[in-house]
Structures are given as C-alpha cells and as structure tokens.
Amino acid sequence: MKTKLTYTDKKDTRSGFGDGLLEAAKKNPQIVGLCADLTGSLKMNAFQKEFPDRFFQVGIAEANMMGIAAGLATAGKIPFTGTFANFSTSRVYDQLRQSIAYSEKNVKVCASHAGLTLGEDGATHQVLEDIGMTKMLPNFTVINPCDYHQTKAATMAIADHHGPVYLRFGRPGWPMFMQDQPFEIGKAITLIEGSDVSIFATGHMVWRAIEAEAILEDQGISAEVINIHTIKPLDEQAILQSVRKTGCAVSAEEHQMAGGLGESIAQTIVKNHLVPQEFVAVNDQFGESGKPEDLLDKYGLGVSDIVEKAKKAIRRKG
Amino acid sequence: MSSNPDLKSLNNICSQVRRDIVRMVHAVNSGHPGGSLGCTEYFVALFNHIMKYDSSFNIEGKGEDVFFLSNGHISPVFYSTLARAGFFDVKELSTFRKLDSRLQGHPATEEGLPGVRIASGSLGQGLSAAIGVALSKKLDGDDRNVFILMGDGEQQEGQVWEAAMFAAHNKVDNLIATIDYNGQQIDGPLEEVNSLGNLKAKYDAFGWDVLECDGNNLSELIETIEAARSKTGSGKPIMILMTTEMGKGVDFMEGTHKWHGVAPNDEQLADALSQLEETIGDY
C-alpha cells in the first residue's frame, strides 16, 4: 500500500509568488519588483506596501517593463517582473530574447494566469505556448511549480540563482499537497513510487496526476508520479532512472503538446533510452471561456485522460 | 570632465574614428557606415570629454556615467570610439563582424566586449534599459548620469513611446537621451517612409525637456550636452534632438540613405580615406 498524498486546503499559486517575493525581498535588498497594472492579480501588493521605493508600476507597457528590468539588472538589481503569462512571453518575446536572454540579464519573469485554468477570460489570455517560447531561449531557466508551497519556495530560490528565469504559475485555488520545503532548481521530485508507468507532470497537472495514480492503483496498475517543476534545465537523470524501471512514460502539462514539457522528455528518451511515451497536453488548439476544472477536462487534460494515456503507454510496451 | 574642450584634439579623434569606420565596413563588405559617420562627433565628445567613467569597465557602472546605444547597427562608430578611448586594443577593430570576434555585427555582451552593457540591434529597446539603470542609480544614491542614443527611424517603434511616457511620469531626470536626427532610414527618407511629424512637439507633450543642436558641430554639440547635464535633477527626462548628416565626412556618402547599410568597394574606400586624415594612427 502506497503512502497517499492528500490536502486539506486549496490556495492559488500566485499567492505563493506574492508571499515568496515579500520574504525574499526582506532578505535581499537588491530585489526590486515591477508590475504592468496587475499588482492585485499578481499578489504583489504586500511587496509594494513594504518596499514602495523598490516597486515600479510600469502601467500597461510590458515591453518597456522587460527593458527596464534588463536595465535594473545591468546595474546589479534583481528585478522580478509581474504580469499575466501571455503578456510575459508572447507579448514581449523579442524583449526577452535580446534585452534579457542574449544580454544575460538576471531578470525573473514571473507569470501568473498561465494556461487554461485562467478560466473565464478565455483564449486571448490563456497562453499555452509560454513554456515552449521560454525554453527555446538560451540562458533561460523555466520553472512551473505545482502548488502554493512550491511556488513560494521557487520564488525564493530564483532570487538566489543568477540568470534569467521564467516562473510560471496560475490563478485558481489549487490543492496544497507539497510540504513546505526548500526548492532545488532542476531537481525533479518523486512524489509516488511505482513500477508500471512513469507519469511526469508539471504545474497544476501534478495534482491531477496524483488523482490518476489512485485510480490506476485501484485497477492494479502501479504508477510512478514525478513532479517536474523545472522544465529547463530538465532533470534527465531522474527521468531516465524512472523509465528504465517502468518502461513507459506519460507527460502531463497545461500547455500545447508542441514545445512543452512532454517534448523535452521525448528528446531525453529518444536520445538515451527509447520507451513508449504518451502526451497529456493541449493538441494544437486555443482554449475558451469556462471554469478551470471544466476546461482541463474538455481539452484533454482530465484525470481520466491521464489514466487512459497511462494504460495506453503500458500496452505499447508490447 | 567639464568645460574647455580641446577641439583640435577631439577633431583629430573624429577623423581617425571615421577612417576606422569605413575601413571596418569595407574589410567585411557589410555594416552600417552612414549613421556611424553621422554620429562620430557625438561619440567622440561623449567618451573623450563629457562622461566620467573607468575604461577598465565594470558592467554595473556604479559611480560612473554610463552609455547605451539603442540603434545598435551603428556599431562601427561605437567600437572605434571605445577602442580609441582605451576600452580594448585598437587592433581588435580588424575582427569586426568576423568569426570568433567580440565585435559582433550588432553590439552584444555575450563575448564580453568592454563598454557594451546590453545587446542592441532589434530597435526600440535601449531607452527602457537606460531608464532601468537610471532608476537603479537613484535607488543607490549615485548622482552620475545615463546617456542613451537612439535613431530617428527607431522612433517608429512603439516601445520607445512606452518608455518616454514612463520616464516623464516617474521623473527620471538623471537620463540624457539623444536622437540621431538624420532624416534617413534604410528604405528612404523618413518623410517618405513614415514621417515623425513634429518630433520636438511630441517629446514636449510627453513631458520631456527637449534641446536641439547640430550634431556635426563639435562645439555646439558639447555646449548642448553640457546644458542638458545642467538640467538633470530638475524633474524631467532630457532629450537632445541632434541633427546630423548621414555619411558625414565622406562626400559621396553624405545626406543619403543609400549608405545606411552598404559598404564601400576598394575604389570607394580609397576615395573616402583620401578625405579623412590619419591623425592618431590606423589600426
């Protein structure tokens, strides 16, 4: 009988960012914050109140915000930019590329409301390509934590990491199941050990993977659930160690299949140890308005989708 | 540094920098000589008279005046000026745009070239970065200034106006921006491609303190930049609209967009060099 992961409360991951930023800023006076007219949504109010001189309200001008952040970093500050994930990436891709990535600036691009779980605002705001865009940029580290605790810990960890980081989190309340533990960039966390299939999940999909594992166990299937909070650099060692044991893989993410975590895992598997892999991801579509959980279910990111893909991966082992 | 510029010595550097520019672009048959030649006086004045800096170069630039080049395509004048000011050996100018060089086609930090603080080339991004350093100087109680050069065609980029609005609203008054107002862009005169209208009125309306000068007249240029410096700390960002002639110093390149991004051939190089005195030694 495996140890079950449970939760008693739900909390939004963006609050983890806000709380982590405040705590990190209390320790390190070089940390500054920038926001593009979404201070409340990003939960940056406490930071703004505590450190008004170190907070820059840029207004609705995300390109300028990224450039100012690059300048602040040039002068030795550690800027944390805050806006929605869509406006943190696709809106400002050339600024990320030239002024931050290529220029090797120590900017932390902190992005809320990522993915379908943004909900009712609809597809204009539901960016599903941001992991792909940021992981393609040399020098960038890409992190997508799974719950409040992990987002808070990740926010504090990236302050101590020198280099550009894309930190992705979300809007809705979500199960808090991770322990309040230090965050190690690039180090995958095995949440549940198993022997038949490896489920690699990131962000909000980690909890769904845990739910899927319980269903699989009831059906006599032993699934391993691994929390891949860092997409780049990818913990290839943990991935290979798991698939060498289970012989097949499922990736689960709130992102387009193209360019996402699953694609990075596939590269690792193809290059090192070929096993069947199935993808739980959005398949070349835009989202729509709706409730977060309903949207995940409609676009192929349901718990039942993970269960079915796990069984399919096992069948393909032949 | 301050008043009493040694105009003769500065003009000698200008002539040498112009020789460097045409030789650099000729050697690799690529690069942007027109805007580089037009901005020579500005770069030479800034790095040899106006700014206080340490040429041993620390990217953070604490306690120093710092410079940003937003229109990165005029890298030849930037590199030549840096080399002539002691940031690196002038011999390295011969590596411009070649494999394994620190002198990339457009300025970059990745190879660690002293004097370059951020990559530029994709236009419209420099002013924002300069504002970031200016804000940092204010936070740190550092009273030195931030200088930033942009192109006039670059004013067609939206991010410039995002930054312009921010700088005025936030009273970024330790910032001295300059626009190389030569009226030419790659496809032709700005008036034909996409007119800027009344650029002075635009920056006035955005809340900037706007000065104007002839950027190819060394003494007028220095007076204007010093006047701009005296206006720092008074609550407004400062803009110098610097009229220049594209291709200045080489008669067949002057006043036309045709030499924006084209290198001279052997014959044209010889003609150009015959018009530019070798004053402090070719690289």
Q: Return the domain boundaries, chain A.
A: 10-175, 189-316
pLDDT of residue B192 exceeding 60, the answer is: yes
Q: Residue B4: which pLDDT band, with cuts at 50, 70 and 90?
A: confident
Alpha-carbon distance of B85 to B65, in angstroms, equals 14
**Residue B72 near residue B124, CB atoms below 8 Å:** no
Q: What is the per-residue pLDDT for B205?
A: 98
Q: What is the per-residue pLDDT for B27?
A: 98
Taking CA atoms, what residue in B is nearest to A58?
Answer: B166
Residue A293: active-site member: no
Mutation to test the B interface, candidates A66, A77, A87, A103, most B Cβ within 10 Å: A103
Alpha-carbon distance of B5 to A315, in angstroms, equals 82
Alpha-carbon distance of A202 to A166, in angstroms, equals 14
Q: How far is A19 from chain B (nearest CA, A)?
A: 23
Q: Does B139 touch chain A (CB under 8 A)?
A: yes
Element (H, E) at B206: none
Residue A3 CB burial class (10 angstroms; 0-12, 13-18, ≥19): exposed
Of A63, A71, A105, nearest to B162 by CB-CB distance is: A63
Give the DSSP letter of residue B18. H
Mutation to test the A interface, candidates B122, B135, B142, most A Cβ within 10 Å: B135
Q: How far is B199 from chain A (nearest CA, A)?
A: 20
Q: How far is B122 from chain A (nearest CA, A)?
A: 7
pLDDT of residue A39 exceeding 60, the answer is: yes
Q: Does A78 touch chain B (CB under 8 A)?
A: no
pLDDT of residue B17 exceeding 60, the answer is: yes
DSSP string, A111-148: EES-SGGG-TT-TTT--SSHHHHHHTSTT-EEE---SH
Q: How far is B280 from chain A (nearest CA, A)?
A: 33
Q: What is the per-residue pLDDT for A179?
A: 87
Give B119's contacts in chain A (Cβ within 8 Å): 98-99, 102-103
Subunit contact B135:A71, Cβ cutoff 8 A: yes
**Residue B263 near residue B31, CB atoms below 8 Å:** yes
DSSP string, chain A: -PPPP--S-EEEHHHHHHHHHHHHHHH-TTEEEEESS-TTTTT-HHHHHH-GGGEEE--S-HHHHHHHHHHHHHTT-EEEEEEEHHHHTGGGHHIIIIIIIITT---EEEEES-SGGG-TT-TTT--SSHHHHHHTSTT-EEE---SHHHHHHHHHHHHTS-S-EEEE--SSEEE--S-S----TT--EEEE--SSEEEEE-TTHHHHHHHHHHHHHHTT--EEEEE--EEES--HHHHHHHHHHHS-EEEEEEEESTTSHHHHHHHHHHHH----EEEEEE-S----SS-HHHHHHHTT-SHHHHHHHHHHHHHHT-
Q: Residue B1: which pLDDT band, with cuts at 50, 70 and 90?
A: very low
Q: What is the per-residue pLDDT for A1?
A: 54
Percent over 90 (pLDDT), chain B: 98
Averaged pLDDT, B148-152: 98
Which of A23, A50, A62, A288 is catalytic? The answer is A62
Please name each of the domains of chain B with its CATH number: 7-274 (3.40.50.970)
Of B62, B120, B133, nearest to A71 by CB-CB distance is: B133
| Number of cross-chain residue pairs from A and B with Cβ atoms under 8 Å apart | 115
Q: What is the per-residue pLDDT for B3?
A: 62
Q: What is the per-residue pLDDT for A2?
A: 67
Q: How far is A108 from chain B (nearest CA, A)?
A: 15
Taking CA atoms, what residue in A is nearest to B126?
Answer: A67
Mutation to test the A interface, candidates B166, B169, B174, most A Cβ within 10 Å: B166
Percent over 90 (pLDDT), chain A: 97
B positions 92-121 inside 8 Å of A (CB)? 108-110, 117-121
Mutation to test the B interface, candidates A66, A68, A78, A139, most B Cβ within 10 Å: A68
Averaged pLDDT, B208-234: 98
User: Does domain A10-175 fall into CATH 3.40.50.970?
Assistant: yes
Q: What is the per-residue pLDDT for B102?
A: 98
Domains A10-175 and A189-316 share a fold: yes
CATH number, domain A189-316: 3.40.50.920
Q: Does A105 touch chain B (CB under 8 A)?
A: yes
Of B119, B131, B134, nearest to A103 by CB-CB distance is: B119
Subunit contact B163:A67, Cβ cutoff 8 A: yes
